[in-house]
Amino acid sequence: MPSAPPPSTRKALAAHPPPMRRFLERLRLIILDVAANDPIIGPLTETLKWGEPSFLTDRTGAGTTVRINAHGQSTKVCGVYVHCQTDLVSRWRQLYDGTFEFDGNRAILFNVDEPLPEGALRHCIAMALTYHHAKSN
C-alpha cells in the first residue's frame, strides 16, 4: 500500500478542483505501483518540481523524472510529463497513437472525464522510470 503523499504533494493536489484532484491522485498511485512492482526502478523519491508532483528514481538512477499536473490552466485536462529531451513521447506515439493524446515531446494528456487506458499508461510509466537503465543496456 503506497504511503500518503508528502505534505508538499498533498498541498499541490489539494489546489485542484475535486475531479482533477481525484484523477491526479489516481495517476500518483499508478506511478507508485509501477515502481513498487519493478525492482529495476526501486523506491521513488516523491517531491515537487516546478510546483508539480514529481517522481524520481534517485536511489537507482534507472529513469527520468515523471511529473503529473493539470495541463496549463485546464480543469479537465491533465498530463503525465517527462523531460522534453528524451525520446519517450516519440516512442509512446509509435506504440499508442490513437490511444493517447500527446503534447509535443513532453506529455501524455488525459481528460479527467474519460476512461483511463491504464494498461498502456503503466507501460509508458515503466518506460520512463527505466529510461536510463534501458539506454545503458
Q: Cα–Cα–Cα angle for 112, 118, 120, nearest 5°?
A: 120
pLDDT tens by residue, 90-113: 999 999 999 999 999 999 999 999
Q: Are 71 and 16 in contact (CB under 8 A)?
A: no
Strands 77-82, 107-111: parallel, antiparallel or unpaired by DSSP?
A: antiparallel
Among 35, 27, 42, residue whose Cα is nearest residue 121 = 27
pLDDT tens by residue, 26-79: 999 999 999 999 999 999 999 999 999 999 999 999 999 999 999 999 999 999
* Residue 3 reports pLDDT greater than 90: no
For the full predicted model, state whether its pTM sits above 0.85: yes
Among 132, 137, 124, 126, residue whose Cα is nearest residue 89 = 124
Residue 98: all three cell numbers together = 490513437
Residue 72: all three cell numbers together = 496549463
**DSSP annotation of 71:** S
* Residue 86 reports pLDDT greater than 90: yes
What proportion of the chain, given as a percentage, has pLDDT over 70?
98
